Structure 1
Amino acid sequence: MENTLIVRAAPQEFICGPGCWNELEHHLERRGISSALVVRGGRSWEAAEHYFPDFKRIEIQFYRYGGECTYAERDAIASEATKLGLQSIIAVGGGKVSDTAKAAAALLRIPVIILPTLAATCSAWSSLSVMYDEAGTMVDFEVFPHSNALVLLDPRVILDSPPELLVAGIGDTLAKWYEADAIISHLPSPPEEIALAHYAARRCRDNLMIHSADALGAQREGELNDAFVRVVETNILTAGLVGGFGEDYGRTAGAHSVHDALTILPQSHRLLHGSKVAYGVLVQLVLEGKREEIGRLLPFYQEIGLPASLQDMGLGGLTRDDRFRVAAHAVLPGASIHRMPGTFDTVKVADAMEELESLISALRAGETVTASR
């Protein structure tokens, strides 16, 4: 943990509402910005392009994101912005597009504006980037001293996104509570910043447990409703507040260590970030001895389509050696699992992964689960 707690609570400005992208040029002019490089994805851009406004006074150039948030891609974006003499970077896309654009803007020390097309992570809100290598294995994360200049969240754009990506966002955001609580609940007297992170994390869980099914129903019908907007804002805004106020105390713990470890398996790269994190939540709960909580969560997972086991993720064929390789990566020095109380090693994590498979099978067969087995 850092000795000095630095609050990075929010972007400089955040606006959520249908049609808010139309005000982008106005907001750039308010900031004295006359040019920008728009970093866009592929499929996400095809869905969102008709929402992107025309510009009359601001110079806009476009850059096609290469597909992975790597240091090489960061440098390529920074080089393009420098070559063209542009004053800012606008990210239009999902979490990896946002993270790459934030990293490039931080390198150049210019403003970054985020227009999310997905609600799968809190990347649009946070002032950090998770970095990967070309193969899709997570290698590092960078925390920046500047907040995102502006986030424009149009829920109509998210409504047009694939529902499975919203489900993944729900999985990633649900983890905010279980990871933050594992760390914060053991502090004898949390400072106010951390208490606010704890509150935001609990609100993430409560909002999602109450509203997720209705939100996904609204998305299937193509209709905006309160539940949909609330879940989208929870995945981006409320989730971002957890790490923003809590720093390492509110960021990641066991669930994300398991996610990061799964990325060493090439067959896991097709899986969405939030799906692997949702599975990691359950592994973490096994490690904490909270098996009854797994029983309470499983119906929610099943209702919205989150994976609860390796089998659910199509990884049921992993050998014990495979699980040990994943477990060894999850407990590397510096892994976020070590923010939790207790000592965690390869054997404990591998055993927890194995126990979870049996536990989920038992729960689905209707067996009763107690706090310890």
Structure 2
Amino acid sequence: MSKIIMSPGRYIQGSGELKKIKDHIEAFGKSFLIIGTDRAIKQTTSTIETSFKESGCKLSYETFNRECCVEEIERLMKVVKASNCDVIVGVGGGKAFDTAKAVAYYCKLPVIVVPTIAATDAPCSALSVIYTKEGVFSNYLLLPKNPEVVLVDTDIVAEAPVRLLVAGMGDALATYFEARACKEGNRGNMSGEKATLAAMALAKLCYETLLSDGVQAMVACEGNVCTKAVENIIEANTYLSGIGFESGGLAAAHAIHDGFTVLEKTHKLYHGEKVAFGAITELVLENRHLAEIEEAILFCKSVGLPYTFSDLGVADATTKELMSVAVASCGSGETMINEPFVVTPRDVYAALVATDALGKMYK
């Protein structure tokens, strides 16, 4: 089997980089459709238009309706056709990016990603996570290529609510654990092929960066300032985790996240918050050494990520509800299959309950 590492055409990160967006992306076309949340569009429009001033390029805007679902993708495809654009630009957060990437794929157009938050590792990937319009996980849409450019203005990201940066750390927390599981099980990455040495090294560096800079970055972000620690965590959440998960592979942690989406009470949580609990559950499921599990729990405790059912808002979940999470996490097409051993819903249920019990020991 081949080894493949996947990455965006260019990853750009730095203070004030949005001011240079024209220089970074004008080679891709002359008519740009910018898709994003209302907040993200308002936050970036002035800077983008100033950058493109006197360029002769056309800029159009369309508000994303907050869920990456088939209905929204089809709606935006009609907008693309009506606007006659030749480049898609996604601004905002993970679901907006995933939607923009899917729309660009179906419309056969290049896509540029401009994160205004660092809450997930979605920006760099050739993947869109598709949900139902009610917010329940549906499927992964695997794309033939990564975004042409990922442009991260760290000043903008540092102004976002600190919970979003922390959620990104939760998503990134699973990267090395899942890549390791895929490697140990001789499983493929998101391309279906094997991980390179570089991918595994980036996944491990992602975890190490969280442990070394996570708390400092959280504290700085609370003050809306961008320190070196914030820069490092933005890179870990966005690039290291993005390349690490896609080129290393996904396993139990993200499958458990998907399972939790069947419980409506968890819909108020961010993706990375559920993934963090899934990451600890994966370690329990794999029977890793207690010291490693403890390290992950204490990291979550230090930055405010969930590590008990109470943190997830499901302290009163019934056995039936938890089994529904376990069954969904082992469903067809789920990444649970990448664990290095056969996993049943009963195994996942037991790991969920054990994770909650362990977590309570550290409260």
Matches within 5 A, 1:78-117: 78-117=77-116
CA distance in 2, matches of 1:334, 1:148: 24
2:33 is equivalent to residue 34 of structure 1:
no
2:54 is equivalent to residue 52 of structure 1:
no
Equivalent AA in structure 2 for residue 208 of structure 1: L
197 and 224 in structure 1: CA distance in 2 versus 1, 3 angstrom threshold: same
1:157 alignment partner in structure 2: 156
Instruction: Count the aligned residue pairs.
Output: 355
TM-score (norm 2): 0.93
Equivalent AA in structure 1 for residue 253 of structure 2: A
Contact 1:51-1:157 at 8 Å conserved across structures: no
2:15 alignment partner in structure 1: 18
Matches within 5 A, 1:77-226: 77-187=76-186, 193-226=195-228
**Cα RMSD for the two superposed structures:** 1.9
Offset, 1:297: 2.0
Contact 1:130-1:141 at 8 Å conserved across structures: yes
Offset, 1:185: 3.4
1:268 alignment partner in structure 2: 266
1:237 alignment partner in structure 2: 239
Offset, 1:28: 3.4
Contact 2:203-2:245 at 8 Å conserved across structures: no
CA distance in 1, matches of 2:195, 2:252: 22
CA distance in 1, matches of 2:312, 2:337: 25
Give 5+ residue unaligned stretches, structure 1.
365-373
Offset, 1:205: 0.3
1:67 alignment partner in structure 2: 66
Deviations 1:290-323 (A, max 9, x none): 2332222222111100110111111101011111
Offset, 1:186: 4.7
Contact 2:35-2:62 at 8 Å conserved across structures: yes
CA distance in 1, matches of 2:332, 2:26: 46
CA distance in 2, matches of 1:224, 1:40: 23
Give 5+ residue unaligned stretches, structure 2.
none
CA distance in 2, matches of 1:192, 1:258: 23
CA distance in 2, matches of 1:75, 1:180: 33
CA distance in 1, matches of 2:25, 2:13: 17
Identity %: 29
Deviations 1:172-203 (A, max 9, x none): 00100111112213549x99843222111100
Contact 1:28-1:34 at 8 Å conserved across structures: no
Equivalent AA in structure 2 for residue 254 of structure 1: A
Offset, 1:240: 1.7
Equivalent AA in structure 1 for residue 270 of structure 2: L
1:280 alignment partner in structure 2: 278
CA distance in 2, matches of 1:298, 1:47: 35
1:301 alignment partner in structure 2: 300
Offset, 1:123: 1.3
97 and 163 in structure 1: CA distance in 2 versus 1, 3 angstrom threshold: same
2:89 counterpart SS class? strand
Contact 2:217-2:230 at 8 Å conserved across structures: yes
2:268 counterpart SS class? coil
Deviations 1:41-88 (A, max 9, x none): 023334444543433321011101011001111121121111121111
Contact 2:326-2:348 at 8 Å conserved across structures: yes
47 and 22 in structure 1: CA distance in 2 versus 1, 3 angstrom threshold: closer
127 and 176 in structure 1: CA distance in 2 versus 1, 3 angstrom threshold: same
Contact 2:3-2:196 at 8 Å conserved across structures: no
2:39 alignment partner in structure 1: 43
243 and 307 in structure 1: CA distance in 2 versus 1, 3 angstrom threshold: closer
CA distance in 2, matches of 1:254, 1:360: 18
1:252 is matched with which residue: 250, 253, 259? 250
2:329 alignment partner in structure 1: 330
Contact 1:47-1:161 at 8 Å conserved across structures: no
Contact 1:21-1:53 at 8 Å conserved across structures: no
Contact 1:184-1:194 at 8 Å conserved across structures: no
Offset, 1:335: 1.6
1:38 counterpart SS class? strand
Equivalent AA in structure 2 for residue 233 of structure 1: E
CA distance in 2, matches of 1:238, 1:43: 26
2:312 is equivalent to residue 316 of structure 1:
no
CA distance in 2, matches of 1:325, 1:261: 7
CA distance in 1, matches of 2:240, 2:234: 9
Contact 1:24-1:53 at 8 Å conserved across structures: no
